[in-house]
Structures are given as C-alpha cells and as structure tokens.
Amino acid sequence: MRRTPLSIAVSTALLGAALSMPAHAQTPTELELARKLDRLAAELAEVKAQLATLRAQGGNAGTAAAASEAGTATRAAPAPATADAAPAAGRPTRAELPTRAELAEPATVLTSYGEINYTRPTKAPQDAQVDLRRFVLGFQHRMDSKTRLVAELEVEHAVSSADDPGEVALEQAFVERELGARLAARAGLFLIPAGMLNENHEPTAYYGVHRNFVETAIIPSTWREVGVQLIGNLDNGLTIQGGLSTGFDVGKWDATSTEGAESPLGAIHQEGAQARARNLAVFGAINWRGVPGLLVGGSAFSGAASHSQPLLPSARVSLWDLHARWSPGRWDLSSVYARGSISNTAALNATLVGNPTLIPERFDGWYLQGAYRLWSQGDYVLSPFVRLERFNTARDYADLGAGLTPQAAGTERVTTVGVNFLVGQGVVLKADVQRFGLVSANNRVNLGLGWSF
C-alpha cells in the first residue's frame, strides 16, 4: 500500500503519543512500556486496515469517503459526527485526491447557441426575409483539472453549398491551461478581447435581434485569430488579457465590392483560414469589475497587415475601444466607443483608384444603450431597451490628390427600440424597430428567436 500523507500523519500521531507516554506515566517499567507499544502497534495495524478497506470500496466512493473524513463534505458523501476533528496536518491534499469535478462531472460539455431572425425593411416590405442566421455547436472538453479544449463550429444562413449563401466556420478552437489560481494561458483559434460583445456574443447576452453596429462594423464580429494569450484575474477585480496572434490581410481588400464599406476589418479578417502570418499582431485588454454591477474596460490591437506580398505597400491595422456597463438594480446601461485605423492607405489605394470602395484611413463609432427589467415572473423576464448608435466606416481617406481622394462617408445614426423577452436562462424572444438617420431605406422591423446553453 502506498503511504499517503493521511496514513503517515496517523502513524506519526500514534508514535508521537507512544513516545510521550513515559513522560506522563509515573513510574513506567519496561514491561508496561513494551505492552503499551504492542497495543499501539496493534491499533496502528487496525487503522491501516481500515484505510485499505476505505480505498478498496471502489475508487470513487472511497475517495469521496476519504475526502469526507477529512472534513470536505460532499452532498453524496456520508458525514462524520463532527467536522472539526481531523487535524489539518493529516488531510490529504487535493493534489493527491481526484478532484470532485473529476469524480462527478462529465469531462465533455456540449454547448450550442443560435438565432432565427425575421427582418422586414419598412420601406421595402417585398424584401422581408427569414434567416437562420447562426447555428453553433460547441463543446468544452476537460482533459485534466487544469487543461481544457474549447471549440465552436458555426453554420451561418442554414445551408452551405455552391448555390447557397451559407458558410461553415470554426469560430473557436483553443486549448486553455490554468497556470495558477489567477493566471491562465490559451493557444489556438480564440476570440479577440475587444469591446463587450465579441467574447460574449450569444443572443441571450445582448439586446436587439441583430448585433449592434459598432461591434460588427467597426469591431468585426465574431472576431477570432490564431495565437497565444495570457489571462490574469487579479484580486482587485482587474482582468488583464494579452497576447500575440495572426492579424488582418490588406491584400484581401476587394475594391469592387461594398463589403469594405460595411465593415472595413470584416472585409480583411483571416479567421485562421490559411491565414498569412508573415506579420503578427499584438493585442491586450483590461477590464475592471471590482464594484458589483460595474464593468469598465478597454482594448487595443495592432499588427502589420501586408505580409510582404509582392506589390503590396506595407500597412498596419490598429483598433482600440473603451467600454463601460453599469447595471444598478433593474437598469442595464452600457456604452462602447471603438476606433480603427489603417496606415499607408495612400499607397495602398494608388492602384485601386476608380473602384467604388477604397481603403479608409480611419473608422469609428459609439453607442449608448439603456435597458430596464420591466417585468419578471418565474422564468420570464421582459426588458425593453433603447440603443443610440453613431458610426462611420470611412471617417477619413488619405489624400490621393484633387479629384482622386474619395469623399469621407457620412456618419450613420441608428436608433433601435425594442424588447428582449427571456424564457428561462437559455431562450430569448426579441422584437425591435431600427431607424437609420442617414440611409432611411434601411429602416426595418426585426423579430428574433435565440437560444444559448
């Protein structure tokens, strides 16, 4: 039998007791001493036998009982009469026992989220559309108490084939390793910590049928890169993330399409699909949650994006944001400001002049959002909300000379008014109206069903 700290401690305690006996005995003869030692030896053997029996009662039950004996009561474990009897030195450390999680939890957890949306442009009802926007299947597999794999596979627009609009993509596939109570490392395809939505993008986590514009047009969504990342959780409520990853590829800019005008970075992201990696990017985020209900944070990302491609001038993509969320009582108030830039666009655009969509030098946007938990009963929660957004996907173009420099885009102003109706914690029904200040042809009414678990 392998000697565990428990058995060692019990033996030590008993031997210690035996050795201290003479001091308490008034006039111990050698014979009495020998008898006592014999009795103690017998008791020790009995304790060892009991320990062996405990272990033999099957790995799980035995360990649970041992844990319980040490005072770490679990719901399933039989309880000893008092919990404070076991001396601390005699406790088996958790490192030696299988953890409770290893005993009781499945190592693999299946996850899913999805959304089905109905969108009706108010000025063009003939374009009303129903879309199974996203269906995501994911899993988290715990390889040991400190190492896990997280993966999400996404189907967008229901059907993916040569004739259909859908696409299939890996949204996340990374390994996370806990390096300590406050430090973890990730490697693989992970979500970049930017804004508030990117890492928490399930439909139950945000207001409105569609994701907000600032965190789709300015900060791409769902934005992921391949790289390594360190995550520190400090005791003052700060979470600090930082790392090295793949970045954007300005060579992917399609000046003939309007995609770049909708989301400049969404048009040149690489998503780990044979991503050019001659240049890497650095990123970091700081979030503070030291006061309940409050989140204040910011993020920054910067990386060269030309990857030494022939005839492609060097360029750098940078993006930063500041965000805050405050939820006192029934209120949920939040705001994000994000700003991105691409360097050396004059040289990049020189060969693209004449095309409809040139590369902007700067793009930015912000929103203010307020929601109120108006009514709740049992599993149902009804929260109306209002969101005001201002964003510009081409705030500035680099000077290409008179007549050639494109005019900066107008700033779009979107007002969204709607409700989220939560059914339990995993299902949400949504309805909202969106009014566009600049291009009113985009005004629309949306209905949505979402889930997440």
Query: Which residues ranging from 345 to 374 are in contact with other proteins (CB under 8 A)?
Result: 373
Q: Find out whether 219 and 213 touch, Cβ atoms under 8 Å.
A: no
Nearer to other proteins, 279 or 345 (CB): 279
- Minimum CB distance to other proteins, residue 337 (Å): 17
CB nearer to other proteins: give 46 or 331.
331
The residues, any chain, with a CB within 8 Å of residue 70's CB and separated by 6 or more, are 6, 86, 90, 91, 92
Q: Which is nearer to other proteins, 101 or 130 (CB)?
A: 101
Q: Which of 31, 81, 162, 168 binds other proteins (CB under 8 A)?
A: 81
Phi-psi region of 368 (alpha: psi -120 to 50; beta: other; left: phi over 0): beta
Residue 187 as a binder of other proteins (CB under 8 A): the answer is yes
325 near other proteins, rule: CB under 8 A: yes
Question: Binder to other proteins among 10, 100, 195, 451 (CB under 8 A)?
Answer: 100
> Shortest Cβ distance from residue 246 to other proteins (Å)?
9
Report the residue from 111, 309, 314, 405 that binds other proteins according to the rule CB under 8 A.
111
> Shortest distance, CB of residue 323 to other proteins, whole angstroms?
9
Pick the closer one to other proteins by CB: 382 or 449: 382
Return the axis-axis angle of helices 59-69 and 30-56, rounded to nearest 10°. 130
Kindly indicate which of the ranges 19-27, 79-87, 207-215, 309-317 contains the residues binding other proteins, using the contact rule CB under 8 A.
79-87
- Based on the shown chain and the rule CB under 8 A, indicate whether residue 180 belongs to the binding site for other proteins: yes
Q: Is 290 in the site for other proteins (CB under 8 A)?
A: yes
Q: Which of residues 199-218 bind other proteins (CB under 8 A)?
A: 199-200, 205
CB of 293 to other proteins, least distance (A): 3
C-beta closer to other proteins: residue 359 or 381: 381
Which 8-state DSSP code applies to residue 247?
-
Task: List binders of other proteins among 216-235 (CB under 8 A).
Answer: 226-228, 230-231, 233, 235
139 and 112 Cβ atoms separated by less than 8 Å: no
Q: Which is nearer to other proteins, 97 or 218 (CB)?
A: 97
Task: Give the shortest CB-186-to-other proteins separation in angstroms.
Answer: 8
Judged by CB under 8 A, the chain residues 411 through 430 that form the site for other proteins are 425
**Cβ atoms 274, 247 nearer than 8 A:** no
- The single residue among 4, 239, 318, 355 that binds other proteins, judged by CB under 8 A, is 239
The span from the first CA to the last CA of the chain, in angstroms, equals 44
Task: With H, G, I as helix, E, B as strand and everything else as coil, classify residue 138.
Answer: strand
Residue among 80, 166, 370, 437 that touches other proteins (CB under 8 A): 80
Q: Give the interface segment with other proteins, choosing from 91-99, 247-255, 398-406, 408-416 (CB under 8 A).
A: 91-99
Q: Does 84 bind other proteins (CB under 8 A)?
A: yes
Under 8 Å CB-to-CB from 247, ≥6 apart: which residues?
Answer: 225, 270, 279, 280, 281, 301, 303, 304, 305, 317
Task: Categorise residue 188: left if φ over 0, alpha if ψ from -120 to 50, beta otherwise.
Answer: left
Site map for other proteins, 243-272, x if CB under 8 A? -x----------------------------
For the residues of 288-349, what is the DSSP string, one character each? E--STTEEEEEEEEEEE--TT-TT----EEEEEEEEEEE--TTEEEEEEEEEEEETTHHHHH
CA quadruple 11, 14, 19, 23: dihedral, nearest 10: 160
- According to the binding rule CB under 8 A, does residue 184 interact with other proteins? yes
Residue 274 lies near other proteins (rule: CB under 8 A): no
**DSSP code for 217:** I
Q: Which of residues 25-44 bind other proteins (CB under 8 A)?
A: none
* Strand positions, DSSP E, 87-223: 108-121, 129-144, 147-156, 167-180, 183-191
